[in-house]
């Protein structure tokens, strides 16, 4: 799921199953929405 940090809400209800975690701070595009992976919170 994609989270919008500006509005503190989900961008959409789609779930994205990735083979492995992206590199922190990398940018990816899902359904024409750009997202920055900020890490897993650990």
Q: What is the pTM of this model?
A: 0.62
Confidence band for 19, pLDDT divided at 50, 70 and 90: very high
Indicate the helix (H) or strand (E) that contains 33.
Answer: strand 33-36
pLDDT score of 1 more than 90 = no
Contact 13, 32 (CB under 8 A): no
């Amino acid at each position: 799921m994609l989270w919008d940090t500006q509005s503190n809400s989900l961008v959409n209800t789609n779930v994205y199953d990735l083979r492995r975690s992206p590199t922190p701070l990398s940018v990816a595009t899902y359904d024409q929405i750009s997202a920055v992976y900020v890490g897993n919170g650990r």
